[in-house]
């Protein structure tokens, strides 16, 4: 059996795939793999280790990828039990991250788990590797190649942790009396016996956003698990993050975005990340939209907390519902059974058998 399945959608402009071929040759050295390049070959992808390798070109569009995305979204079990990571090579400074998180979201809905920091992206200039290259004393292309090799090693060695009594941290900034999103979390929570659940509200008080301190300043405070601003993020959230096995983000959809206080938390988490990684912690989310756009919020969480902040993205990490009147969610047909199913999925990832 091969170590990996490499899903590399065919690119109709082969002159734009040379750099991706180079990073794959370097990254896959020493491993056996099978290549999937067309929609017709896109099958038997359950319980696999999968490397998605995408050449985008200047437009940010790979037509074969969209055929694969269609199949992924229509078959919600096609990646059941699989673990994935992504390399995206572009010929512009745009689109690599947006395509990467859209792919991760779709594959996750269909059963794929992604370890922390599962995306390696190369923009046309590779300016996104300037800092990494400087730290390694190499050029940007060499830093890009190194990242690809590290990513493949990571997915091969990935062994998701499980606990007898997992500790779950729940963050929200919602109104206790009126929030449909919190009501949905309560439905899920009652199906999680044996968990130690800590709930912190970021609604009250001042939650200052990150102002982008110099690296040395951020690192200095991060060494002691703090941030220059202090407040509830440092006093309550940082210690709880260090202790938890899973983070649940309770996110109402505000104008197709997470709320300001939750966004500030993600930004401020950079200080803690300077000294501590979160590769052993899971990310889950409860998302309620008034009308549509839950997928956009989910993708924000994927890019912010999985791709950037290293949390594990377990399969089907988000429960997404729509409710546009206060307290109307509890009246929705089938919502209780969907909440129970989501809790069962959480337990499948978190609990020792």
Q: Are residues 193 and 282 in the same domain?
A: yes
Measure the CA–CA gap between 203 and 181, rounded to whole angstroms: 14
Measure the CA–CA gap between 85 and 118, rounded to whole angstroms: 5
Q: Are residues 21 and 145 in the same domain?
A: yes
How many structural domains compose the chain?
A: 2
Q: Are residues 289 and 338 in the same domain?
A: yes
Q: Are residues 295 and 221 in the same domain?
A: yes
Please report how many Cα atoms fall inside a 13 Å half-sphere around the Cα of residue 267, on the Cβ side.
Answer: 16
What tens digit of pLDDT does each residue of 185-202 get?
999 999 998 889 999 999
Q: Are residues 208 and 316 in the same domain?
A: yes
Closest CA to 260 of 320, 185, 197, 210: 210
pLDDT of 230 reads 56
Q: Is the pLDDT of residue 215 over 60?
A: no
Do the Cβ atoms of 95 and 49 come closer than 8 Å?
Answer: no
Q: Compute the C-alpha angle 269/84/63, nearest 5°.
A: 105
- Residue 333 to residues 101, 324, 339, Cα–Cα distance (Å): 31, 15, 12
Q: Are residues 103 and 192 in the same domain?
A: no
Q: Are residues 117 and 234 in the same domain?
A: no
Q: Global pTM? A: 0.94
**Residue 10 covered by a domain:** yes
**Residue 191 covered by a domain:** yes
CATH assignment at residue 184: 3.40.50.360
What is the pLDDT averaged over residues 316-329?
90
Q: Are residues 141 and 175 in the same domain?
A: no
Which of the four pLDDT bands, split at 50, 70 and 90, describes residue 247? very high
Q: Are residues 134 and 200 in the same domain?
A: no
What tens digit of pLDDT does each residue of 28-50 get?
999 999 999 999 999 989 999 99
pLDDT of 6 reads 98
Q: Is the pLDDT of residue 120 over 90?
A: yes
pLDDT of 241 reads 96
Domain of residue 153 covers: 4-157
Measure the CA–CA gap between 36 and 55, rounded to whole angstroms: 14
**23-29: Cβ within 8 A, 24+ apart:** 23/87, 23/89, 23/120, 23/122, 23/144, 23/145, 23/148, 24/53, 24/87, 24/148, 26/145, 26/148, 26/149, 27/51, 27/87, 27/145, 27/148, 27/149, 27/151, 27/152, 28/4, 28/152, 29/149
pLDDT of 197 reads 97
What tens digit of pLDDT does each residue of 127-184 get?
999 999 999 999 999 999 999 999 999 999 999 999 999 999 999 988 777 889 999 9
Look-up of token digits 């997470």: 258
Pick from 157, 175, 191: which residue ends a domain? 157
Measure the CA–CA gap between 327 and 238, rounded to whole angstroms: 31
pLDDT of 37 reads 97
The two most distant CA atoms of the chain are separated, in Å, by 59
Which of the four pLDDT bands, split at 50, 70 and 90, describes residue 220? very low
Q: Are residues 344 and 277 in the same domain?
A: yes
Q: What are phi and psi of 143, to 5 degrees?
A: -65, -40
Query: Which tokens belong to 192?
Result: 């999680």
């Amino acid at each position: 059996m091969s170590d990996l399945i490499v899903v590399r959608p065919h690119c109709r402009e082969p002159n734009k795939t040379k750099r991706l071929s180079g990073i794959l040759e370097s990254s896959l050295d020493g491993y056996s793999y099978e290549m999937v390049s067309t929609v017709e070959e896109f099958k038997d992808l359950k319980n696999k280790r999968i490397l998605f390798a995408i050449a985008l070109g200047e437009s940010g569009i790979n037509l074969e990828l969209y055929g694969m995305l269609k199949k992924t979204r229509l078959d919600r079990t096609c990646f059941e039990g699989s673990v994935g990571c992504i390399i995206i090579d572009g010929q512009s400074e745009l689109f690599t991250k947006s395509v990467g998180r859209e792919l991760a979201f779709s594959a996750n809905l269909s059963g794929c788990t992604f370890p922390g920091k599962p995306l390696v992206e190369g923009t046309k200039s590779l300016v996104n590797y300037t800092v990494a290259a400087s730290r390694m004393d190499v050029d940007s292309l060499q830093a890009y190649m190194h990242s690809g090799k590290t990513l493949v090693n990571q997915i091969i060695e990935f062994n998701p942790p499980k606990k007898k009594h997992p500790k779950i941290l729940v963050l929200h900034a919602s109104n206790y009396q009126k929030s449909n999103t919190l009501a949905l979390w309560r439905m899920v929570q009652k199906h999680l016996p044996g968990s130690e659940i800590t709930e912190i509200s970021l609604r009250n008080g001042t939650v200052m956003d990150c102002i982008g301190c110099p690296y040395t300043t951020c690192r200095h405070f991060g060494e002691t698990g703090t941030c220059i601003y202090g407040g509830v993020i440092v006093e309550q959230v940082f210690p709880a993050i260090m202790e938890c096995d899973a983070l649940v983000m309770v996110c109402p959809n505000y104008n197709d975005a997470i709320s300001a206080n939750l966004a500030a938390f993600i930004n401020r988490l950079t200080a803690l990340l300077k000294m501590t990684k979160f590769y052993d912690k899971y990310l889950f989310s409860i998302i309620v939209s008034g009308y549509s756009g839950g997928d956009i919020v989910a993708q924000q969480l994927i890019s912010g907390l999985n791709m950037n902040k290293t949390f594990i993205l377990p399969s089907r990490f988000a429960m997404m519902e729509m409710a546009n009147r206060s307290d109307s969610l509890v009246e929705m047909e089938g919502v209780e059974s969907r909440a129970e199913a989501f809790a069962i999925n959480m337990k499948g990832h978190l609990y020792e058998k």
